Structure 1
């Protein structure tokens, strides 16, 4: 019984640590991951973790024309989506890049 319970806990714990998959069309949960983004501390559309390796999405911060996959323009109002930066349990992981944004 302990073996089964231990295995079940291991599966539950390890699956919650894995970030979600960004779809091949550059969407997550139906929202396009390009455009105007507002960074918030509560009620985000997505929780993301900034990493140096193995990101789900490479993000380039731009000041205009954020229409391509992974191009984000930071705004304070009227965002396309809201993001909260977290250190654990993200929806997906991002890496900031200066060129070639998108799905790795």
Structure 2
């Protein structure tokens, strides 16, 4: 399966245990996407607002075989 277009994965994110849109591995190095958790304006690649209801994407955190890898950052979120 081809990697998803990471430049489109932003907005309201719900962390789930099943029925995810994407499986994601959290890493410290060599991430595909740098993610900043925000409270307002999750309107560009890598900006995620964690929500319980009406998510744009459902994400499952996995240890193995992710669709892509993320790193949490405080500055400069986006595709790497």
- Under a length normalisation based on structure 2, what TM-score does the superposition of the two structures give? 0.93
- Does 2:47 align with 1:71? yes
**Residue segments in structure 1 that go unaligned for 5+ positions in a row:** 1-19, 27-31
More helix by share: 1
How many angstroms does 1:21 deviate by?
Answer: 3.5
Alpha carbon RMSD of aligned pairs, Å? Answer: 1.3
Relative contact order (C-alpha < 8 Å, sep 6+): which is higher?
2
Name the structure 2 match of 1:39. Answer: 15
Q: Deviations over 1:49-69 (max 9, x none)?
A: 000000010000000110011
- Size of the aligned set, in residue pairs, is 79
Larger Rg: 1
Task: List runs of 5+ in structure 2 lacking aligned partners.
Answer: none
